[in-house]
Structure 1
Amino acid sequence: MKFSFTEIALLGALLGAAPAQAEQFKVLLFTKTAGWHHDAVNAGVSAVQELGKLHDFGVFWTADANRVMNDAELAKYQAVIFLLTTGDILDEAQQAAFERYIRKGGAFVGVHSASDTEYGWPWYTKMVGHMFKVHPAVQTAVLQVRERNFPGMERFAPRTLFTDEWYEFGPATSDKLTYLLTVDESSYRPETAKSRGMGAFHPVSWYQSYDGGRAFYTALGHMAASYRDPVFLHHLYGGIYWAATGRGFKAE
């Protein structure tokens, strides 16, 4: 069968107009601070953007709450990542919009100082699961896996060295938390001027179903260099993947 030049040109145009394969999902990467501003923010943003390229999901980054914390914008995303946020960053209308987003099946991912954010918003503190209290100096310590059967956990050794700013937390604000990682306080100096540490059980990462949606949190990620650590990045992606899709993972 022979095609005319016009037919070939039309076929080429149609093929060229074919839509690209859709991304797996889209996330909002939110980095607004109203308190301490971590030096690692830019490294964290770049790392999440690279994870998006590696795992084929869309990333929209902003620190402008006025732009995205409303019903129309939030509806575009399967998960919202609070990356190194601090302080009171949303007004009442924005808080209400975010609550509606979660109740409609949306998802939250909190990284490090997301637990040092919005202490006066009870709904948020319950979603985060524990709120930051104090921390000692950055130190190397032993991370312990509490649950391997969750996305992104399979690359951790049962006990492994990791260097971070080890947050001490207040009591759990939710009774639905499943813990993924803890830190062994005997492996570093947890004491501060205000505290002797959390003791035998010192949580680092956890997740829960929350108010119609999903919430994942990791306290790791203080240092810019951590965002070059493939094990940490896989852990972070696992939390994003679960939050955005609701899909679990069996390591064993």
Structure 2
Amino acid sequence: MKLKRTLFTFALIFSIALVAPAQQFRALVFSKTAGFRHQSISDAVVALKKMGKTQVFSVYTTEDAGEFTDEKLAKYDVVILTTTTGTIFNAEQKAAFQRFVQSGKGVVGIHSATDTEYEWPWYNKMIGAYFLSHPAQQTLRLDVVDQTHPSTWHLPKNWLWTDELYEFREINPDIKVLIKADESTYKVARGNGENHPMAWYHEFDGGRVFYTALGHVESAWEEDDFLKHLYGGIWYAATGEPYK
């Protein structure tokens, strides 16, 4: 009787394993801050965990930069820099992160990922720009200039949005801009002029990078269009689809 019960339990576990969905890819959600800390980080982590369940990819969240070793990073397909700020890596962690990208993996930067690692030139080129300034939170017209990317497939050409609107310096000229801010529709701080990028992607040093400046306000993390925008960027960075 005991043997039958054991065999039944084993068969049940095996059958569950067979029907459990395979994960599309593995994401490291990293939200360490060494500067300003956004209140929306907790909302972002919750939303990304939920997104992983809905879109069938695995999510591991941490603020421990000790995860950035060759051995640990090998487990992931994409690193999602979730509103990070300041100097968050030591020399060994930087080197491991570079090798991760060079191995063909992906990086996603959200909002203040551009307010991070100001003294690391490789990072500046990789993430695409550095934060310069921002005005008060406002509503504006976002101009979706490329609707062929998975992060923008669902978006209208004119997207009305409310957020903390980043302005940038040291913009990598090789980034492929997806969304621009229409500065005629809001009060700028310093501004970037007619070419004010708000979301972009590019291939860099062997890997794939997607960045969106959106996501400062907590309500963004419950907004379908933003979450679809972000998931499209994550999917691209993790898999290269449809740009292999």
What's the TM-score, normalizing by structure 1?
0.90
Aligned to 1:233, which of 227, 234, 243? 227
Deviations 1:189-234 (A, max 9, x none): 00x3xx2x11111100000001011110000001011101100000
**How far off its partner does 1:133 sit?**
0.4
Q: How does 1:239-250 map to 2 (within 5 A)?
A: 239-248=233-242
Percent identity, please: 44
- The 1-side partners of 2:139 and 2:182 are apart by 11
Contact 2:21 2:56 in 1 (8 A): no
Q: What amino acid maps onto 2:196 in structure 1?
A: H
- The 2-side partners of 1:132 and 1:91 are apart by 21
- Gapped regions of structure 1 (runs ≥ 5): 1-5
Instruction: Give the alignment's Cα RMSD to 1 decimal.
Output: 1.8
Matched pairs, number: 240
Q: What amino acid maps onto 1:133 in structure 2?
A: L
- Gapped regions of structure 2 (runs ≥ 5): none
Q: Choose 112-121 or 11-20, whichever is displaced more.
A: 11-20
- The 1-side partners of 2:60 and 2:13 are apart by 26
* Bigger radius of gyration among the two: 1
Task: Tell me the residue number matched to 1:64.
Answer: 64
Q: What amino acid maps onto 1:41 in structure 2?
A: I
Task: Tell me the residue number matched to 1:185.
Answer: 183
Q: What amino acid maps onto 1:43 in structure 2?
A: D
Q: What amino acid maps onto 1:17 in structure 2?
A: F
**How far off its partner does 1:13 sit?**
2.8
- The 2-side partners of 1:119 and 1:97 are apart by 18
**How far off its partner does 1:152 sit?**
2.6
- The 1-side partners of 2:47 and 2:160 are apart by 21
Task: Tell me the residue number matched to 2:55.
Answer: 55
Q: What amino acid maps onto 1:100 in structure 2?
A: R
Matched, 1:17 2:14: yes
Matched, 1:134 2:128: no
Matched, 1:102 2:93: no
Distance verdict in 2 for CA 1:76–1:142, change over 3 Å? same
Q: What amino acid maps onto 1:28 in structure 2?
A: L
Q: What amino acid maps onto 1:29 in structure 2?
A: V
Q: Secondary structure at the match of 1:110?
A: strand
**How far off its partner does 1:15 sit?**
4.7
**How far off its partner does 1:17 sit?**
2.1
